[in-house]
């Protein structure tokens, strides 16, 4: 069976491990670069992306994480994990922290505001309707949550949500000589998929709903089937 790695530097990795156990999947905590060689897929949990990046740097994990994303094995980032996977992050407290990248999007690190503005809401996610239970909505738990401001053309949007009422307009400072922009749309993207990469601005691991973990395991199965097919092709040629 597939081994799902969970980056266990900081944040909600215990909750991801528990969610995997609930659906009978094998989760393994990953803290060192070489441990990435032993997993078929990887979850990067929520937490605090600046702290997580510091710890990742300390253990020299960034090159290995980038290489892992590049192999095409499934990777899922929740919240701070989404920030890690984005090609570009903007917003306060950016502090030039290092990103893994691979996901063609721009995230705002604290789009929904501070801890006090954390919230839960019902999200419409058509893709989840195929999973057990058949409902196409899920509970989105947003904690100091980021949001996705822009996506590239290869990125499939799985869910968006309204910008909370009364939220002050957000100025996006891109540096690099580009003018500041104000985010003025009334909805914002909170879940996406791009090939092997899944990313959510909210925390399915903090709910009892296993469908997101199930969806991720399905991506894992798909990718293993592909790897096997490639192997048998090369063996027969
Ligand atoms: N906004 C946080 C950050 O910058 C992420 C919050 C979370 O993962 N719950 O890392």
> Does ligand 1 lie within 6 Å of residue 155's CB atom?
no
Residues 180, 181, 182, 184: what is their CA dihedral angle, to the nearest 10 degrees? 180
Name, in order, each residue with C-beta under 8 angstroms of 209's C-beta and a sequence gap of 6 or more: 138, 139
Question: Domain total for the chain?
Answer: 1
> Does ligand 1 lie within 6 Å of residue 80's CB atom?
yes
- Tell me what ipTM this predicted complex has: 0.91
Domain boundaries, position 97: 3-236
- Please give the number of the atom of ligand 1 that sits closest to the Cα of 11: 8
Q: What is the DSSP string of 51-104?
A: HHHHHHHHTT-HHHHHHHHHTT--EEEETHHHHHHEEEEESTT-TT------EE
pLDDT tens profile 136-147 = 999 999 999 999
- Please give the number of the atom of ligand 1 that sits closest to the Cα of 47: 8
CA gap 179, 112 in Å, rounded: 22
Note the pTM of the prediction, 2 decimals.
0.92
Give kind and range of the element (H or E) at residue 193.
Answer: strand 187-194
pLDDT tens profile 151-183 = 999 999 999 999 887 776 777 666 555 556 777
Name residue, tokens 């909805």: 187
Active site amino acids = 79, 203, 205
CATH number where 80 lies: 3.40.50.880
pLDDT tens profile 189-213 = 999 999 999 999 999 999 999 999 9
């Amino acid at each position: 069976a597939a081994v799902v790695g969970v980056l266990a530097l900081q944040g909600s990795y215990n909750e991801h491990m528990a969610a995997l156990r609930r659906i009978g999947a094998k989760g393994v905590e990953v803290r060192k670069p070489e441990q990435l060689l032993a997993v078929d897929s990887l979850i990067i949990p929520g937490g605090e992306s600046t702290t997580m990046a510091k710890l990742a740097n300390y253990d020299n994990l960034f090159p290995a994480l980038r290489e892992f994303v590049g192999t095409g094995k499934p990777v899922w980032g929740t919240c701070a994990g989404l920030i890690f996977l984005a090609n570009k992050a903007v917003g306060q407290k950016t502090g030039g922290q290092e990103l893994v990248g691979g996901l063609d999007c721009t995230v705002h690190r604290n789009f929904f505001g501070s801890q006090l503005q954390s919230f839960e809401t019902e999200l419409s996610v058509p893709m989840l309707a195929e999973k057990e239970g058949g409902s196409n909505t899920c509970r989105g738990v947003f904690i100091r949550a980021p949001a996705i401001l822009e996506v590239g053309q290869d990125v499939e949007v799985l869910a968006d949500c309204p910008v909370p009422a009364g939220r002050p307009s957000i100025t996006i400072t891109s540096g690099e000589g580009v003018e500041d922009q104000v985010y003025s749309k009334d909805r914002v993207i909170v879940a996406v998929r791009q090939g092997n990469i899944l990313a959510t601005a909210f925390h399915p691991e903090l709910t009892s709903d296993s469908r997101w973990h199930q969806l991720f395991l399905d991506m894992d199965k798909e990718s293993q089937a592909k790897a096997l097919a490639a192997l048998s092709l090369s063996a027969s040629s």
